[in-house]
């Protein structure tokens, strides 16, 4: 069974919700990516997104864009990231997803990318610049290799929801608000209506992401959904402690406080 599906099944049985965390591969360097992923899993991250750094991350805000630039400045290659994932897999069975822009998949070679994902132990893909209409080929490959192609729904999706959640697998990524990734103080979306509308057409787990940065926000929103996604807030901690000895510990502590918000 795909690790993402297994995880959500286990959580449902114990009436728990998932904490999904994010790290950009190679920020501050590739070795610490492994340590950070393992530490986050240890401190309660139920699923982990690994961002493949990209030169033009238009769906991301400044925090994740800077992380990508830090990673790319060391000439990190996708092949190297695949190797690190393989290493992580030896030590942990935490479900792992790539957050990856479509051009990276395309240049790596489409099917070669998906099959390498399978080989190294990636369980799902989030491709923020590939809407439903352009994703048919990749979804078919996901089926073939048992990699979950995560469906994203935005507050603007409205009449599109029914069409694009058909056949969605793994979980549905519900974008909290208009705009790019990054922390926000307030949300203008009516989450009750938003998630309920999606729930009319799909019964797979729903995760809320974009802008979530504090245990208080998690407490406020977790009842609407099955999982909460925290990205930029973690990257900010990495940015702050990037060069210091205590990096892994600080990130672990932060994930621990987020996990408390989930309780």
Partner 1 sequence: MDNERGRFGTFGGQYVAETLMNALIALEKSYCRYKDDPAFQKELTYYLTEYSGRETPLYYAQRLTEYLGGGRIYLKREDLNHTGAHKINNVLGQILLAKKMGKTRIIAETGAGQHGVATATAAAMFGLQCEVYMGEEDVQRQALNVFRMNLLGAKVNPVRSGTRTLKDATNEAIRDWVAHAEDTFYVIGSVVGPHPYPMMVRDFQRIIGDEVKKQILAMENRLPDYIIACVGGGSNAMGIFYPFMEDRDVKLVGAEAAGLGIETGEHAATLAEGKIGVLHGMMSYFLQDEDGQINPPYSISAGLDYPGIGPEHAFLRDSGRAEYVSVTDKEALAAFKLLAELEGIIPALESAHAIAHAVKCCPATRKDEIIVVNLSGRGDKDVYTVSRALEGNPNE
Q: Minimum distance between the CB of residue 76 and partner 1, rounded to whole angstroms?
A: 9
- Considering only residues 146-165, where is the footprint of partner 1 by CB under 8 A? 152-160, 164
**Phi and psi, residue 142, nearest 5°:** -60, -45
d(CA 1, CA 6): 6
Catalytic entry in 49, 65, 123, 226: 49
**Token pair in block for residue 263:** 């309780």
Cβ closer to partner 1: 38 or 150?
150
Q: Is 120 in the site for partner 1 (CB under 8 A)?
A: no
| Cβ-contact 25, 52 below 8 angstroms | yes
Q: Name 190's Cβ contacts closer than 8 Å, sequence gap at least 6.
A: none
Q: Minimum distance between the CB of residue 53 and partner 1, rounded to whole angstroms?
A: 8
Q: Is 188 in the site for partner 1 (CB under 8 A)?
A: no
Q: Minimum distance between the CB of residue 259 and partner 1, rounded to whole angstroms?
A: 28
Q: Is 194 in the site for partner 1 (CB under 8 A)?
A: no
Q: Minimum distance between the CB of residue 28 and partner 1, rounded to whole angstroms?
A: 18
60 is catalytic: yes
d(CA 60, CA 35): 24
Q: Is 231 in the site for partner 1 (CB under 8 A)?
A: no
Among 16, 35, 44, 72, binds partner 1 (CB under 8 A): 72
Write down the residue that tokens 């990636």 correspond to.
Answer: 122
Which among 104-112, 115-123, 214-222, 227-235 is the span making contact with partner 1, rule CB under 8 A? 104-112
Q: Is 78 in the site for partner 1 (CB under 8 A)?
A: yes
Q: Is 243 in the site for partner 1 (CB under 8 A)?
A: no
65 is catalytic: no
Burial string for 88-114 (b: 16+ CB within 10 Å, else e) reads: beeebebbbbbbbbbebbeebeeeebb
Q: Is 98 in the site for partner 1 (CB under 8 A)?
A: no
Which among 39-47, 118-126, 177-185, 234-242 is the span making contact with partner 1, rule CB under 8 A? 177-185
- Considering only residues 4-63, where is the footprint of partner 1 by CB under 8 A? 54-56, 58-59, 61-62
Cβ closer to partner 1: 77 or 260?
77
**Token pair in block for residue 33:** 């990516």
* Helical segments of the chain, H only: 3-13, 30-42, 62-72, 78-91, 102-108, 111-120, 136-145, 161-165, 191-199, 215-221, 232-241, 247-262
**Phi and psi, residue 182, nearest 5°:** 140, 155
- For 233, other C-beta atoms within 10 Å of its C-beta total 19
d(CA 2, CA 147): 8
Q: Is 189 in the site for partner 1 (CB under 8 A)?
A: no
Residues taking part in catalysis: 49, 60
Q: Binding residues for partner 1, per CB under 8 A?
A: 54-56, 58-59, 61-62, 65, 69, 72, 77-78, 101-108, 128-134, 152-160, 164, 175, 178-180
């Amino acid at each position: 069974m795909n690790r993402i599906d297994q995880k959500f099944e286990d959580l449902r049985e114990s009436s728990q919700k998932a904490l999904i965390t994010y790290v950009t591969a190679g920020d501050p360097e590739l070795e610490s990516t492994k340590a950070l992923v393992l530490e986050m899993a240890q401190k309660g991250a139920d699923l982990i997104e690994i961002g493949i750094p990209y030169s033009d991350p238009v769906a991301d805000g400044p925090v994740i864009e800077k992380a990508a630039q830090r990673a790319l400045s060391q000439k990190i290659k996708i092949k190297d990231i695949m190797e690190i994932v393989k290493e992580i897999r030896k030590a942990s069975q935490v479900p792992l997803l790539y957050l990856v822009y479509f051009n990276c998949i395309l240049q790596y070679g489409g099917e070669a990318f998906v099959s390498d994902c399978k080989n190294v132990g990636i369980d799902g893909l989030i491709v923020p610049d590939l809407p439903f209409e352009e994703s048919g080929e990749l979804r078919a490959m996901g089926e073939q290799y048992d990699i979950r192609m995560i469906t994203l729904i935005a507050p603007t999706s409205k009449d599109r929801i029914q069409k694009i959640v058909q056949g969605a697998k793994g979980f549905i990524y519900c974008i909290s608000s208009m705009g790019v990734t990054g922390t926000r103080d307030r949300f203008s979306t009516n989450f009750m209506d938003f998630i309920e509308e999606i729930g009319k057409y799909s019964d797979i787990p729903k995760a809320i992401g974009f802008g979530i940065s504090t245990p208080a926000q998690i407490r406020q929103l977790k009842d609407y959904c099955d999982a909460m996604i925290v990205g930029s807030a973690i990257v900010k901690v990495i940015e702050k402690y990037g060069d210091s000895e205590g990096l892994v510990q600080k990130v672990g502590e932060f994930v621990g406080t987020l996990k408390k918000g989930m309780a």
